Amino acid sequence: MSNSLFSLKGKKIVFTGAAGVLGSTMCLYLADNGAMVILVGRTAQKVNNLRDEIIRAGGKASAFAVDVTDETKLKELKDKIESEEGTIDILINGAGGNMPGAVIRPDQTFLDLDSNALRKVIDLNYLGTVLPIKALLPLLLANGRGNIINISSMAASRPMTRVMGYASSKAAIDNLTKFLAVEFAGKYGPDFRVNAIAPGFFLTEQNRTLLTEPDGGLTQRGYQIISHTPMNRFGNPEDLLGALHWLCSDASTFVTGTVIAVDGGFSAYSGV
């Protein structure tokens, strides 16, 4: 089988949420494999630093500071990308996150839920995926083919305690992925596909204190997660790269509407 089937060389990829722990690892990998990566993040300094790191390593990248929930700014982003690149090949929606007010702690009840925080989490995770697709779809249509990869979570299919807002919004991403796979293939043809990657538990800036103690040991929640993960560890960012590469490449051209778990077996474990 020709290696060209898996080649990413020359592909123009927009990546939102690019500067996070997982996003930056994926963007560095894509650039190292020959893709032109268009980095999108909320903080200019972070995406600019990542762009510079990619360029120093010999890769190709550009950077834009954009709030993915702001339709006006996304329209401006689309115009800038169109003027610089013309079209794009792939859109990866990596922007997302959680906040304390949308979490129900063990010492709280549902009545303590902060409605404003919940709304912000849903806006970031769900609208922060829908709106970039809406804004940048014309750049895929002009290319005659499209590949969209959303970032879901194990919390979507296996609702976790505490993180109600995050889990609900990621469940919406799974549904959106399948809906758009049918919608786009039906209206734009078989060369338009939509899939998602659902990471299991990876240590990030947002969850490190929830899962590990200052000395590196596991919290009670961290222990519960590891005990339900057959591979008996948290994921490393590099563990996502194989699934990412496959979905970005032509090796997956007959794959659409899927949510691929990269979770060390967490979703397969029944507890008995």
Is the four-CA dihedral 156, 128, 238, 178 of positive or negative sign? positive
Residue 166 falls in the annotated catalytic set: yes
Written as one string, the DSSP assignment of 115-137 is HHHHHHHHIIIIIHHHHHHHHHH
Distance of CA 144 to the CA centre of its chain: 24
- Asked if 139 and 81 count as a contact pair (C-beta separation under 8 A), the reply is yes
> Nearest 5°: phi and psi at 82?
-65, -40
Helices (H), 66-127: 71-85, 115-122
Catalytic residue (choose from 126, 166, 223, 269): 166
Helices (H), the chain: 21-32, 44-56, 71-85, 115-122, 128-141, 154-157, 164-188, 208-211, 220-227, 241-248
Measured distance CA(60)–CA(15) in Å, rounded: 13
Instruction: List active site positions.
Output: 166
